[in-house]
Amino acid sequence: MRMCNLPRALITTMLALLLIGCSQDEGYQDLDEFMAEARNKPQGRIEPLPEFEAYEAFSYGASGKRSPFEPPVEVAVDEEDDDGKAESDISPDMNRPTEPLERFPIGDLTMVGTLQRVEEGALYALIRDNEGGIHRVTVGDYMGQNYGRVESVTETRIQLREIVSDGDEGWVKRPRTLTLSSQEE
């Protein structure tokens, strides 16, 4: 035998001995017993999944009526036409340009302060929208999504009138008040 084949023969012999040592069945008797015992146990029954009722979507049909979260407003009915409907000359001005605060519902607007110019003497209210912006309003400005027009501004509150649907193809004016918020954020 030559010297260069000796390492190759030695490695081959070692691998053969390793394979022979791993192929013996001794040492697995406890595992074989456990597997046989598991196979002999009675098979269990899996319960069927419970049946669920299909979800039925709720369609809100009172969007034209008064919000249950707002106090009721009494409206004086002046005259009725032949159909028994009240006649009203109240309607929002659809031709005027909208103002920035008309994008937000009135509930998302908060009065956070006032500002008064000495030269003019006019009092401005500072309004925070739900996006974090601060806006300045005074008498005659519009705010809220119901055509709310500011009627008066004091240091602690804003009085405005909204024009809302009466639910019968007409419009009514509704008073609203925003008071100064005392929360520090």
Q: Report pLDDT digits (tens) over 148-167.
A: 899 999 888 899 998 888 77
Bridge partner list, 125: 114, 137
Supply the pLDDT for residue 150: 92
> What is the overall mean pLDDT for the chain?
80
Which distant-in-sequence residues (6+ apart) come within 8 Å of 91 by Cβ? 163, 171
Nearest to 172 by CA among 78, 98, 99: 78
* Strand-strand pairing, 123-128 and 148-153: unpaired
- Residue-by-residue DSSP string for 139-184: TT-EETTTTEEEEEE-SSEEEEEEEEE-SSS-EEEEEEEEEB----
Given a contact cutoff of 8 angstroms between Cβ atoms, the answer to whether 141 and 99 are in contact is: yes
pLDDT digits (tens, 9 = 90+) for 61-78: 776 676 777 777 665 555
Domains of the chain: 106-177 (2.30.30.830)
Range picked from 19-23, 44-48, 119-123 for highest mean pLDDT? 44-48
Nearest to 148 by CA among 98, 183, 82: 98
